[in-house]
């Protein structure tokens, strides 16, 4: 494979590196002893589920949510969720594919509708409202919200609850809902793209933005040193993997894989790799 083809291949699968490709292609299963292979077969039989593409766990996400899922400078889809989805697929004896970018507020409807993606692992908070439409795996990460302003501004949070204040958010997110509930007088600016919101605060088009705390911390440190977190908002959210209610065996198989990923140290490795700490 030429390096160009290789890059396209990796980008298509949304897999960050060769080691993960090796882990994801089922070769480990092929070298297992008969006993182990039998165990694998048994568990595959128990976990009966459907997939939109045979042998593949197909994920749909919004790809501008660093460090969970984003496109790196080589055009590869990378991040904590990408590594986690690869690890889950590997435990299930599957490969994994990430569909092209979709707006965040289309992810739950896509899973509900079915036929296009099996799961959405995309920093999606488990909420009662979303549970009306889709099921979720066990939680895999805790999160809160962050209220971001220009570092040069001297706002207090209560100053932002005014009509002439424009507050950016990503459309349909929990940050969007938080603004509506807690700063109802502000002018909310729902956007498809998180970076566009931060750029807007940076240039003064918007006075603030509300987005998940780990993403705010990451993006401010990487690209927006002129912005600051005015307030950490303890919403106590938990991320889960959205699956269709029509596919309960898939949820069970994902939960079994997640439990292994927690107990065998993989989860801590991934947290360390992407957040520099296991304490998240
Ligand atoms: N966790 C937030 C939510 O579920 C934001 C997710 C995202 O933008 N990817 O609404």
Mutate to test the pocket of ligand 1, among 124, 137, 218 (most ligand atoms within 8 A of CB): 124
Q: Which of 62, 65, 76 is nearest to 214 (CA)?
A: 65
Residue 43 CA to ligand 1 center (angstroms) comes to 32
CA 104 – ligand 1 centroid, Å: 7
Return the biggest CA–CA distance within the chain. Answer: 69
- Tell me the C-alpha distance between 262 and 269, whole Å: 10
CATH number at 144-236: 3.40.190.10
In whole angstroms, give the CA distance from residue 272 to residue 76: 21
Q: Is the CB of 145 under 6 A from ligand 1?
A: no
Pick the CATH number of 6-140+240-275 from 3.40.630.10, 3.40.640.10, 3.40.190.10, 3.40.50.300: 3.40.190.10
Written as six digits, the tokens of 198 are 């931060």
- What pLDDT score was predicted for residue 43? 47
Question: Would you say how long the chain is, in residues?
Answer: 280
**Predicted confidence (pLDDT) per residue in 65-78, tens digit:** 999 999 999 999 99
pLDDT of res. 67? 98
pTM to 2 decimals?
A: 0.84
Question: Cα dist. 41→92, 158, 205 in Å?
Answer: 11, 58, 57
Q: Which residues, in sequence order, are CB contacts of 17 under 8 Å at separation 6+? A: 10
Counting as low any pLDDT under 70, the low residues of the chain are 1-47
What strand order describes the sheet that includes 64-65? 64-65, 69-71, 77-78
SS3 content of the chain, % helix, strand, coil (to 5): 45, 20, 35
Confidence at residue 46, expressed as pLDDT on a 0 to 100 scale = 55
Delimit the domains of the chain by residue range: 6-140+240-275, 144-236
Q: Is the CB of 104 under 6 A from ligand 1?
A: yes
| C-alpha of residue 58 to centroid of ligand 1, in Å | 19
CA distance linking residue 147 with residue 15, whole number of Å: 32
- Ligand 1 touching residue 79 (CB < 6 A): no
């Amino acid at each position: 494979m030429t390096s160009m083809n290789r890059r396209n291949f990796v980008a298509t699968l949304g897999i960050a590196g060769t080691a993960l490709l090796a882990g994801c292609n089922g070769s480990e299963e092929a070298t297992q002893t008969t006993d182990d292979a039998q165990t694998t077969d048994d568990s595959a039989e128990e976990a009966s589920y459907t997939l939109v593409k045979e042998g593949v766990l197909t994920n749909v996400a919004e790809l501008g949510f660093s460090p969970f899922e984003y496109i790196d400078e080589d055009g590869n889809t990378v991040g904590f969720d990408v590594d986690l989805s690869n690890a889950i697929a590997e435990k299930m004896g599957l490969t994994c594919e990430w569909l092209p970018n979709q707006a965040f507020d289309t992810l739950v409807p896509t899973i509900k509708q079915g036929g296009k993606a099996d799961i959405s692992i995309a920093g999606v908070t488990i909420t009662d409202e979303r549970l009306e439409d889709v099921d979720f795996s066990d939680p895999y990460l805790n999160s809160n919200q962050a209220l971001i302003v220009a570092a040069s501004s001297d706002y207090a949070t209560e100053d932002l609850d005014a009509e002439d204040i424009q507050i950016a958010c990503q459309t349909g997110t929990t940050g969007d809902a938080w603004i509506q509930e807690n700063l109802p007088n502000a002018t909310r600016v729902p956007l498809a793209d998180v970076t566009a919101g931060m750029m807007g605060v940076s240039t003064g088009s918007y006075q603030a933005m509300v987005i998940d705390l780990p993403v705010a911390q990451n993006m401010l440190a990487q690209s927006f040193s002129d912005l600051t977190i005015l307030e950490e908002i303890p919403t106590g959210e938990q991320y889960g993997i959205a699956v269709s209610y029509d596919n309960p065996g898939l949820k069970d198989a994902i939960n079994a894989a997640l439990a292994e990923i927690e107990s065998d140290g993989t989860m801590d490795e991934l947290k360390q790799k992407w957040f520099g700490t296991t304490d998240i």
